[in-house]
A and B are shown apart, each in its own frame.
Chain A
Amino acid sequence: SQQGEEDPQALSIQEGENATMNCSYKTSINNLQWYRQNSGRGLVHLILIRSNEREKHSGRLRVTLDTSKKSSSLLITASRAADTASYFCARQGTYNTDKLIFGTGTRLQVFP
């Protein structure tokens, strides 16, 4: 399968705690994106990071990319109950560049 692996598959934390999700992949990438999906809804784009970038921030979100380890992480700081959702990474490879391939996702539950 071309799909990346996300770790952990599920994560439960209390409000105010930080949540870290990891994404690993096997082939070289042009860019990697993170998406959020609330239950029963479509996906919403969070952050895009290019292969020549190492870190990006957006509000309480921080994404890092380590191309040597073929991995990325999404950190949500000071989590809120509203952050409860599934989070997916998606990557554009350097081969077959017209395809955006999604990982299997991490289900995050934030308890109030």
Chain B
Amino acid sequence: NAGVTQTPKFQVLKTGQSMTLQCAQDMNHEYMSWYRQDPGMGLRLIHYSVGAGITDQGEVPNGYNVSRSTTEDFPLRLLSAAPSQTSVYFCASSQAGVYFHEQYFGPGTRLTVT
């Protein structure tokens, strides 16, 4: 199994540009999520999904959109990039359930917005 994969690994955008960060998992996990990691801030939840067709907002959703058309994929879209979105983005997945299971993380996408 490849686990959780993310593309691209690195990306530089100009302010106002849009792009999609890709995330895929091959473990048949129902739960998927996106986090951003900034220095000194730990990980902050952007959006999450408890299954195909179902998404919801996390702690810092503004400026980002998600969709979940399949169990495997959970792309994150930046609508109009801003320098404040410079960060490292992590996708994670896990089994679903009332109680959280172990989260599997992707390797991250390092995004710089100039």
Contact = CB atoms under 8 A, between A and B. Distances in A.
A2 B59 contact: yes
Classify the secondary structure of A's interface with B: strand
A48 interface: yes
Q: How large is the interface on B (under 10, 10 to 19, 20 to 34, 35 or more residues)?
A: 20 to 34
Contacts of A35: 103, 105
A101 B59 contact: yes
Interface of B: 4, 31, 33, 35, 40-45, 48, 50, 56, 58-59, 90, 92, 98-108
B58 A45 contact: no
B98 A45 contact: no
A-side interface size class: 20 to 34
B107 A42 contact: yes
Interface of A: 2-3, 6, 30-31, 33, 35, 40-45, 48, 50, 88, 90, 92, 97-105
Contact of B58 (A92, A99, A103): A99
